[in-house]
Structure 1
Amino acid sequence: MSKKLSAVIEESLLSSTSHGIPNIIRSDKLAIRLMWIFFAVVSTGLCSYMIVQSIMNYFSFETTSKIQIHTEKSSIFPAITICNSNYFTSEYSAQFIKNFTFDIQSDSNYFNYDQYYKLFQIVTSREELISQSYKFGDSFEKLILNCQILTVDCKNKEYWNYYYHQLYGNCYQINTKKENLIKVSRTGWNNALKIILNISMADGLEGVYPTTGAYIMIHNQTTSPLSTDPFGVSPGLDTNIAISRQFKSSLPKPYSNCDDDTSNSDAFNSKLFKLITSRNISYNQKLCMDLCFQDLIIQECKCYHVDFPFISDQSIKPCYIENDYECMNSKIENDFKESSIENDACQSQCPLECNSMNYKIFYSFTDFIKEKNNDDINKFYNFTGTNRRQMKNDLVSLYFYYETLSYEEIKEKESIDLVGLLSNLGGIAGLFLGISFLSLVEIIEIAFQILHYFIKRTKVDEIRGQIKPV
């Protein structure tokens, strides 16, 4: 019986499409057979090694980046948030401070930081003042002196939104209303969005804040300014702000650390993630991590850090009293020494988004108002004597424009996909052993032949056992 089984296996191997085994069996000379055995073993070893390497490369989930430049005929302009860097600018602020008695000794003849922060704390913590906080800063009519893009007068309020910033107070956003989005089809300084700001303060506020200027934030229409780093603009300058764009699309896990579903508010069971998405803000990890750090300070100090985003319970007050500062600074120092604390606490709550649009800002400065221009403007408005103003200290000129309507798109693609893996395995197996996918069917056939042999043998034994000798 064993000879029949061997014959069945030998017949199947001789008809195999692989080159090594049939030649080993059919070789009638020992030297040739040993040669085929040697090369078959070497080829099998190399084949196995390279197949393992291919599988390991596939499961390392490496990616390649594809960079493309896309040119548009017209592009939506980014949203721009503009703030006076001084929280207290209005006549209402001047009157409030005039009627307020300070019990803080100033260390400076020019400016007292403690006095400023004391004022800020009072306005942002007293219920009767919180509802009136907008009166302390600039009105739209006062801050935005002029706005124009090509022939469009964008001084009209239909292009603007009011935005209250936790640190700068009254801010104004242009190009955030979906029904009045500004689109541009030309580039360069001559086609810029031109804005002139009046950042002056009411009489009596001198020395309330050490510097004057404006803070600018450039972001998407759906992105909160809190997640955007502001840049400052000083008075008396013509500021040219050239904008370029970069869109990055990353493959989700396991190819990178990003999560593909951050646009779905129900995708992650995270308090911070749900907090951001519930405010109709486009999610990004930077904002989430900042909010997480803010949350750690609130839990420990029962107040919030004004330099970090805060969109939680308004009953929580800013950290301004001495004990708050000590607690906050201690928390920052500890997290600086043990950076893993913040990562351990925040990373799990803040998934990384896969798609992002970044605005790159390039700005340059020139003088906006020279002394002669200042004299002409004072004469034109009849500002004389005590009414004479230094316009160079009061006005800011801004020019926003796309450097190009092209944007850079960076897309990640898996280095080896499933089709590539199968192609590699087939190529390696064919190169070293001469086998293909159908060779696997031959193995199945041999297994089937062996199984059929044993089933047939079992039935024969059962029949013999049932026949009684006479």
Structure 2
Amino acid sequence: MFDRFQGADYVYSQYICKTVCQQVYNYQECGCIDPLQWAARSIILPGTNTIILAPLCDSSNTCYLQAMQTLINSDSLWQKYCSHCTQECSIVDFIVKPSSVAAPPEWFMDDIKMFVENSGVPVPTNWSTTWRTEILANYLGVDILSESYQIESFEQEATLDAVQVISNVGGHTGLWIGISFLSLMELVEMLYRLARYHLHLIRVPVRNN
């Protein structure tokens, strides 16, 4: 692929890497690739060094869409086909030149016409002859792309549970104050004996009277 554009400045892109690895999986599962990513037709199958110019899937064939969802939702398949698509070490900003293109593409016109006619959208009286002009004048195409297909989940878990908290409190009090569970029980026993002794002293005079 690099030989086709002499003198071009190439840089690694995680997005392009993921697009190519998805195309590889689509080709192995469906025998064709995503037609919307027609620029990424040059692929290399795993375990080979031969560049294949993969054919584009027909727009009515949903195999590539199902294969793409399967790849994205499977961690094992993603590690097998796209594990090398790491994040960029640095970000290079290129000069952006705004451009526009006619929308929708020609191959999508019939689908839009069918959608408009079946959705109840008001159409002009001469729709049957001017539907192409009407679509080109009123259609707006918006592409929404995700920055990354990988999701980072951050979870917080307690380092100490209730038993460990009690153990740490007991250990620190025993270390710094000299208090242990046994000494606390001895203190309770001493208070009980003192209370019982004073109660006995009170009862003896009452009995003598």
User: RCO higher in 1 or 2 (8 Å CA, sep ≥ 6)?
Assistant: 1
Q: Which has the higher strand share?
A: 1
Same fold (TM over 0.5): no
| TM-score interval, normalised by the smaller of the two chains | 0.3 to 0.5
Q: Which has the higher helix share?
A: 2
In the superposition, the TM-score normalised over structure 2's length comes to 0.34
In the superposition, the TM-score normalised over structure 1's length comes to 0.18
